Amino acid sequence: MEKLKELRNKHKLSQKEMGKIIGVNDRAIGNYERGIRALPVEKAKMFGEYFKFNWWELYED
């Protein structure tokens, strides 16, 4: 999920800081970014709300 990593880097956040936004640990964020685990829709919606963007963009190629 390269878009998630791009979002995190754009806002200059660590994986730990990004995880705090949606209530997961830094390891989970790393797993989402590497595609090891799928980002749940409810977590994507939380990012969308927090960063004020269409959360669906995280799932686009």
Say which CATH number the domain at 32 has. 1.10.260.40
Is 21 domain-assigned? yes
Look up the domain containing 33 and give its range. Answer: 2-56
User: What's the pLDDT at 42?
Assistant: 98
* Nearest C-alpha neighbor of 33 from the set 12, 58, 57, 52: 58
Is 61 domain-assigned? no
Considering the entire predicted model, what is its pTM?
A: 0.92
Burial class (CB in 10 A: 0-12, 13-18, 19+), 48: middle
Is 36 domain-assigned? yes
Task: Point out the residues of the chain with pLDDT beneath 50.
Answer: none
CA distance 4 to 49: 14
pLDDT in tens, 29-44: 999 999 999 999 999 9
Q: Is the Cα torsion angle 47, 48, 54, 56 positive or negative in sign?
A: positive
User: What's the pLDDT at 1?
Assistant: 87
Is 43 domain-assigned? yes
The three-class DSSP label of residue 14 is: coil
User: What's the pLDDT at 61?
Assistant: 72
Q: What residues have CB less than 8 Å from 13, skipping those under 6 apart?
A: none
